Structure 1
Amino acid sequence: MSGVLDHVMMRVEDLEESLDWYTTHLDYEEKGRWEADTFTNVYLGPEEMHDEGAMLELTYNHDDRTYEMGDAWGHIAVRVPEGELEEHYEQLLDEGVEDYRDPESCGGRYAFVKDPDGHEVEIVQRDADLPTWSLDHTMIRVEDADEALGFWARKFEYVPDGRWESDTFANYFMKPRGASDAAMTVELTYNYDGRSYTMGDAWGHLCVRADDLHDYWETLMEREADDYRDPASCEDRYAFTRDQDGHEIEILNPES
């Protein structure tokens, strides 16, 4: 489906260590790989993936650079069947994953672990028909909730898929109209205290699928999206825009 999230990219400092972590603990398998002279991209996901399911892209730069996490990006979230949160969290601990935020500390509704580079991974409970450990959402922090919601609604035709509002912050979940439950949502987190965020470079981008890259890009430009890296500058294979806070969003036709 055009418009669904295809993948989320994060940068890692040791590719083999990261691959071992995700394949061992989340049972991911390699779905694709791109080897360039200076970097490697590896795409991961569960063995069985829905057509609208999203992948995790690990990017490794060959110059051994280190990364700053920043706080403009929050976490990825992966699914486990309803009622099995504690079981799966304990399984991760038994496998040697560090105890970070256990289910009890999160009201029994979710939990968090960290990968070898410190990227936070939330564990959420969902319908048992969805593949275990599949990507549920990616959370980003935004400085203006109205502007962020308007961005995803106007530029990408996303619609609300849930919200959580507390005394100090709100979470808004967005995805394309008509997308299946298997599609990854984007979670927009807005803190009421007016704080600003640093982007860092440990996280890379979200990626939106397009049936036709050039038509999709033209529509984004008509809707006044940021002309950041157009298709021509990316060998007509993909393109990039940015949201109002600077989070990068790739546009890609996976079939091209």
Structure 2
Amino acid sequence: MATIDNSFKTNHTCLRVKDPQISTKFYEDNFGLKIYRTFPFPQFNFSLYMLCYNNPSSPYYNNMWADREGILELTHNYGTESDPNYTINNGNVEPHRGFGHICFSVDNIEEACNRLEKNGVKFQKKLTDGRQKDIAFALDPDGYWIELIEHGINKNIGKTDLTTYRLNHTMIRVKDPKKSLQFYKDVLGMKLFSTRVHEGAKFTLYFLGYDHDSNFVENEESKVNQAKRQSVLELTHNWGTESDPNFKGYHNGNAQPQGYGHICISMQNAEKFCNEIEEKFGDELNWSVKFNKGGLKNLAFIKDPDGYSIEIIPSWIFDGENKS
């Protein structure tokens, strides 16, 4: 296995957006995120907007953007904001299902939902809808689903504090959980936080990420503690897809019609990590771009068993280090 040190983090989730002005304002006003860095790449006709929680109480307050968890990367391809025919694939509509949602954990979910409703935010599922009364799903300007769960940190009755919010997880659907878990654990070095089986609805959820505590025990994370994390990866397996000959697989977000882009992991020595996994796994790996071989330098893109992209970057990367 490749060397997994304490610098490994799940850094960001990338979503394409139609109009960056509308989307950045939405996430700032409703979820308390702030633009931390903007990267214009006119030579490639797109810009990246890196949003995060940059509160002094954050453990990453003094870290560079790539050495953090909980970053939301909004990608804007120039011209989409004025194209009446351009739409985003939110990943939840057949036949292009794949990516499911991002999730924010909040201090007081009832008050958080009330605040969003007052702000005119639309909902896919309100707290009062359906059987699960402890989660809700809001919709962003492009129709992406945003799950809301409660972590209860500094909870006050009748109030919600945006500075306590966290970008908790990103959900993607997978065809075969055995293959996916093997990839994320054995190749990328993630750990399994918890597994939740929903027998009635015939699906299972697997939650993964990085934890460098020597006392951490896999697959025993409580729901409460997991809600306090950032940048968790949720794999959703709908039972039977792995053995269904008629199931053609999930949409990876990067094929047309596009929407979801990728998750990104960062570490101190990304080049060393890429070399190590390539040496160990060889042709078993599916690279979109090997490290430092693409138009943008100091990064790589690898694909998981379902074709979803994972970016790999060094945790020290900054504006001047990422030019073509």
Look up the match of 2:146: 121
Does residue 86 (structure 1) correspond to residue 110 (structure 2)? The answer is yes
Q: Aligned with 1:187: secondary structure?
A: strand
Moved more, 215-224 or 115-124: 215-224
Moved more, 216-225 or 126-135: 126-135
Distance in structure 1 (CA, Å) of the matches to 2:271 and 2:195: 33
- The question of whether the paired residues in 1 share the 8 Å contact of 2:109 and 2:150 is answered with yes
Q: Give the ranges of 4+ consecutive aligned residues of structure 1 lying more than 6 Å apart after TM superposition.
A: none
Look up the match of 1:172: 206
Number of residue pairs aligned between Structure 1 and Structure 2: 254
Distance in structure 1 (CA, Å) of the matches to 2:149 and 2:280: 34
Shift of residue 236 of structure 1? Answer: 3.6
Provide, for residues 2-51 of structure 1, a one-character-per-residue CA deviation record: whole Å limited to 9, x for no partner: 32111000000011110111111111111101011111100001232432
Look up the match of 1:189: 236
Provide, for residues 212-249 of structure 1, a one-character-per-residue CA deviation record: whole Å limited to 9, x for no partner: 12101112213423232012323541111010001000
Distance in structure 1 (CA, Å) of the matches to 2:315 and 2:212: 20
Moved more, 196-205 or 132-141: 196-205
CA RMSD of aligned residues (A): 2.0
Provide, for residues 190-213 of structure 1, a one-character-per-residue CA deviation record: whole Å limited to 9, x for no partner: 001314322232000100012112
Distance in structure 1 (CA, Å) of the matches to 2:188 and 2:123: 37
- The question of whether the paired residues in 2 share the 8 Å contact of 1:41 and 1:58 is answered with yes
Q: Trace 1:221-240 onto structure 2 (pairs within 5 A).
A: 221-224=278-281, 225-234=285-294, 235-240=296-301
Distance in structure 1 (CA, Å) of the matches to 2:105 and 2:230: 12
Look up the match of 1:68: 89
Look up the match of 2:272: 215
Distance in structure 1 (CA, Å) of the matches to 2:103 and 2:87: 24
Q: Trace 1:26-175 onto structure 2 (pairs within 5 A).
A: 26-37=31-42, 38-48=45-55, 49-51=58-60, 52-64=68-80, 65-69=86-90, 70-81=96-107, 84-105=108-129, 107-128=132-153, 132-167=164-199, 168-175=202-209
Moved more, 173-182 or 184-193: 173-182
Which structure would you say has the larger Rg?
2
Shift of residue 127 of structure 1? Answer: 4.6
Q: Aligned with 1:8: secondary structure?
A: strand
Look up the match of 1:205: 262
Distance in structure 2 (CA, Å) of the matches to 1:123 and 1:50: 22
Distance in structure 2 (CA, Å) of the matches to 1:50 and 1:71: 35
Moved more, 148-157 or 130-139: 130-139
Look up the match of 2:93: none
Distance in structure 2 (CA, Å) of the matches to 1:145 and 1:117: 29
Q: Aligned with 1:13: secondary structure?
A: coil
Q: Aligned with 1:139: secondary structure?
A: strand
Q: Aligned with 1:231: secondary structure?
A: coil
- The question of whether the paired residues in 2 share the 8 Å contact of 1:6 and 1:207 is answered with yes
- The alignment's TM-score, normalised by the length of structure 1, stands at 0.92
- The alignment's TM-score, normalised by the length of structure 2, stands at 0.74
Look up the match of 1:18: 23
More strand by share: 1
Distance in structure 2 (CA, Å) of the matches to 1:227 and 1:36: 22
Shift of residue 131 of structure 1? Answer: 5.0
- The question of whether the paired residues in 1 share the 8 Å contact of 2:137 and 2:145 is answered with yes
Distance in structure 2 (CA, Å) of the matches to 1:151 and 1:119: 26
- What fraction of aligned residue pairs are identical, expressed as a percent? 25
Amino acid aligned to 1:250: E
Q: Aligned with 2:128: secondary structure?
A: helix
Amino acid aligned to 1:50: P
